[in-house]
């Protein structure tokens, strides 16, 4: 066996295998990056309003109760497809108006229902949040959530 598998052959197998698998890793990384960029940005562009809405989402810790594309807490409804469920995905002004009315009606004080706290958002923040939710609704989630209600 020692005559067949010499030190130089072992070194060549190690280096050759390392280069081969490194090339496979780089190719899969490039493929994954292209796929994610293509599917996640297939809808609306990332505007300043969308970024503002993301900051509102984070500042108010919305993910502590809601899920966004399955990530977050399961206390409150999924909001990754809320604009489609409300039927306002294609109308930014209507999306703002519906979200603004919803936010101002909280907490609803309906007996036996979970209560969303009142957030005193500015008009700019509410518009940004509406745009962020419209943007998130454009993501190709490959049929997630499994039902419309999240």
At residue 86, does pLDDT exceed 90? yes
Q: Identify the residue with better confidence: 87 or 2.
A: 87
Domain encompassing residue 86:
45-137
Q: What does the alpha-carbon distance between residue 121 and residue 127 come to, in Å, rounded to a whole number?
A: 10
CA distances from 7 to 17, 21, 50, 68 (A): 15, 21, 59, 54
Question: b/e string for 56-92 if b means 16 or more Cβ within 10 A?
Answer: bbeeeebeebbbbbeebeeebbbbbbbbeeeebbeeb
Portion of the chain with pLDDT greater than 90, in percent: 62
Shared domain for 54 and 124, answered yes or no, is yes
Q: What does the alpha-carbon distance between residue 148 and residue 144 come to, in Å, rounded to a whole number?
A: 9
According to DSSP, the residues that pair with 78 across neighbouring strands are 67
Which tens digits make up the pLDDT trace of 5-64?
Answer: 888 999 999 999 999 999 999 999 999 999 887 777 666 788 999 999 999 999 999 999
Shared domain for 13 and 32, answered yes or no, is yes
- The answer to whether residue 118 is domain-embedded is yes
Q: What is the pLDDT of residue 112?
A: 81
Q: Identify the residue with better confidence: 43 or 89.
A: 89
Ramachandran angles phi, psi of 72, nearest 5°? 125, -165
Return all residues near 96 (Cβ < 8 A) that are at least 6 apart: 126, 127, 130
Question: Which of 40, 38, 139, 37 has the alpha carbon at shortest distance from 83?
Answer: 139
Shared domain for 69 and 98, answered yes or no, is yes
For residues 80 and 68, the answer to whether their CB atoms sit within 8 Å is yes
At residue 1, does pLDDT exceed 90? no
Q: What is the mean pLDDT of the chain?
A: 90
CA distances from 128 to 33, 64, 84 (A): 27, 19, 17
Structure token digits, residue 77: 């409804």
Shared domain for 54 and 95, answered yes or no, is yes
At residue 143, does pLDDT exceed 70? yes
Q: Identify the residue with better confidence: 127 or 148.
A: 127
- The answer to whether residue 32 is domain-embedded is yes
- The answer to whether residue 149 is domain-embedded is no
Q: What is the pLDDT of residue 64?
A: 95
Shared domain for 76 and 123, answered yes or no, is yes
At residue 66, does pLDDT exceed 60? yes
For residues 149 and 86, the answer to whether their CB atoms sit within 8 Å is no
CATH code assigned at 127: 1.10.760.10
Q: Please tell me the total count of domains within the chain.
A: 2
């Amino acid at each position: 066996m020692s005559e067949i598998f010499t030190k130089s052959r072992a070194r060549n197998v190690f280096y050759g295998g390392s280069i081969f698998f490194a090339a496979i890793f780089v190719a899969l990384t490039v493929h994954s990056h292209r796929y994610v960029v293509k599917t996640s940005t297939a809808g609306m562009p990332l505007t300043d309003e969308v970024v503002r809405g993301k900051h509102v989402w984070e500042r108010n810790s919305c993910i502590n109760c809601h899920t966004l594309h399955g990530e977050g807490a399961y206390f409150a409804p999924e909001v990754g497809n809320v604009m489609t469920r409300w039927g306002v995905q294609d109308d930014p002004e209507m999306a703002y108006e519906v979200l603004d009315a919803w936010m101002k009606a909280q907490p609803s004080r309906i007996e036996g229902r979970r209560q969303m706290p009142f957030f005193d958002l500015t008009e700019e923040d509410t518009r940004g949040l509406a745009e962020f939710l419209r943007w998130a609704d454009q993501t190709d989630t490959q049929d997630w959530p499994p039902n419309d209600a999240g």
